Amino acid sequence: MYIIAERHYRKYRLKSKSIYDAFSRVGNFQRTVYVSDVRCINELRMDRYTFNKLCSMIRTSGRLRDTRNVSVDEMVAMFLNILAHHKKNRVIQDKFLRSGETISRYFNAVLKAILCLQGQLLKTPEPVAENSTDERWKFFKNCLGALDGTYIRVHVPEVDKPRYRSRKNEIATNVLGVCSQDMQFIYVLPGWEGSAADSRVLRDAISRRHGLRVPHGHYYLVDAGYPNGEGFLAPYRGQRYHLNDWREGHQPTSAEEYFNMKHSSARNVIERCFGLLKLRWAILRSPSFFSVKTQCRIITACCLLHNLIRREMAVDPLENQLPNQFEDDNHDEDDIISSIDSSEQWNNWRKDLATAMFNEWRASRN
């Protein structure tokens, strides 16, 4: 009788503990996401509406579905919490009352599901209109946006460290980012070693089968590290360029300087886009211990989620925390720019554009 009683007591105690843990999980999840938009933004970097929108997109795509024990909403919440705060697996175990294996499995499942949403979340480039009145962009008709590279630190095997060592002496991957005028990513290419030059990464991007496409007659703003060629408009070298130079009270004295001032003002959008991306997702600010392949997928996923937040949230609360200045449609294949060599014709067009911009500015001052 004693053995039977002991067996029933243990069974009841385990069942009670299981029920208690289930209620605790639900309670923790509800407090993380659904108490208020402020709490949801602090924990997951997006408000409740945007979070529900993301879960709905993942369900609709068919990449994830609720299981008997874990809902898609909880899977996504765990994933976003890791990206937003770069928390260790054991910390998420305590927060969501899940095993380490469960967290790891659903982290990778949600990562793959979000990457499958690239077609929906990447921004379709829109050229600057002829009648644009935006002071930063009105001179750059038919411009699609801006592009640049940034370093994101990664963990790599010891044998690969020399290749990934950047000019800043960091072990990092060189990430090419292309963004629109409203700070949404159009194209992202992570994975290149930190030692690779920006122009080399760009050449790879435009040569890929599903890489960056620049239609003839359109272009992106780039910095002086890239050649000034068809499809990529660079500033004049040897002239004042950075915005801080003009904020100190300097006035342009030539067409080249005025062009550089306006070019810097517009191209600063990609610097702000990178700054906001790293401010939003802590996992991009320090190396994670995933494999390099997974780390590159995480970078792409962070850019896609950034676009979703910019698109769905009326106000991005993190944008006000950015500093004012940082350091440094389908087209036929025959109508796509496939090289980034410097062009004399493009240099002449830049000279004509700079002269017209400078003359208009001088006339407005008289």
Q: Does 72 share its domain with 215?
A: no
Amino acid letter at 144?
L
Domain ends where: 87, 116, 145? 116
Q: What are phi and psi of 147, to 5 degrees?
A: -140, 155
Give DSSP secondary structure letters for 286-337: S--SS-HHHHHHHHHHHHHHHHHHHHH-SS-TTGGGS-S--------GGGB-
- Assign residue 86 a region (left: φ > 0; alpha: ψ between -120 and 50; beta: otherwise): left
Q: Is 94 in the same domain as 37?
A: yes
Q: What is the pLDDT of residue 193?
A: 94
- With beta carbons less than 8 A apart as the criterion, state whether 289 and 153 touch: no
Q: Specify whether 248 is located in the same domain as 332.
A: yes
pLDDT at 305: 98
- Classified as helix, coil or strand, 23 is helix
Two structure tokens written together for 135:
């002071």
Residue ending a domain, choose from 116, 137, 168:
116
Q: Answer yes or no: do 202 and 312 share one domain.
A: yes
pLDDT at 248: 62
Return phi, psi of residue 187, to 5°.
-155, 145
> Do 154 and 112 belong to one domain?
no
Question: Do residues 90 and 167 both lie within one domain?
Answer: no
Number of domains in the chain: 2
Residues 290 and 341 in one domain: yes
- Note down pLDDT in tens along the chain; length 366 residues: 545 545 544 544 434 434 334 556 666 777 778 888 999 999 999 999 999 999 999 999 988 999 988 999 999 999 999 999 999 999 988 888 889 999 999 999 999 999 999 999 999 999 999 999 898 999 999 999 999 999 999 999 999 999 999 988 999 999 999 999 999 999 999 999 999 999 999 999 999 988 999 999 999 999 988 989 899 999 998 776 666 665 666 777 888 888 988 998 899 999 999 999 999 999 999 998 899 999 999 999 999 999 999 999 988 888 888 776 554 433 333 455 555 667 788 888 888 889 988 888 888 876
Question: Quick check: 173 and 295 in contact, CB under 8 A?
Answer: yes
Distance CA 47, CA 32 (A): 11
- Report how far residue 267's alpha carbon sits from residue 122's, in angstroms, rounded to the nearest whole number: 19
> At residue 47, what is the residue type?
D
Number of Cβ within 10 Å of residue 363's Cβ equals 8
Contact, 248 vs 258, CB < 8 A? no
Starting at the edge strand found earlier in the chain, the sheet holding 172-179 runs: 185-193, 172-179, 143-153, 219-221, 232-233
> Tell me, what's the pLDDT at 16?
40
Query: Which residue range forms the structural domain that includes residue 210?
Result: 125-365
Query: Does residue 283 contact residue 298 with C-beta atoms inside 8 Å?
Result: yes
85 with 195, same domain: the answer is: no
Please indicate, yes or no, whether residues 259 and 173 belong to a single structural domain of this protein: yes
Alpha-carbon distances, residue 279 vs 169, 274, 300 (angstroms): 22, 9, 15
For residue 132, what are its two tokens?
A: 């644009």
Nearest to 238 by CA among 249, 224, 248: 224
Clarify whether residues 112 and 139 are in a common domain.
Answer: no
User: Side-chain half-sphere of 230: how many Cα atoms within 13 Å?
Assistant: 13
DSSP letter string, 103-140: HHHHHHHHHHHHHTTHHHHSPPP-PPPTT---TTTTTS
Q: 294 and 155 share a domain?
A: yes
Number of neighbouring beta carbons within 10 Å of residue 155: 16
The last residue of a domain, from among 116, 142, 172: 116
The secondary structure element, H or E, covering residue 175 is strand 172-179
The token pair at 203 is 């050449």
CA atoms of 218 and 69, how far apart (whole Å): 51
Beta strands 143-153; 232-233: pairing state: unpaired
Residues 359, 286, single domain; the answer is: yes
343, two tokens: 């062009």
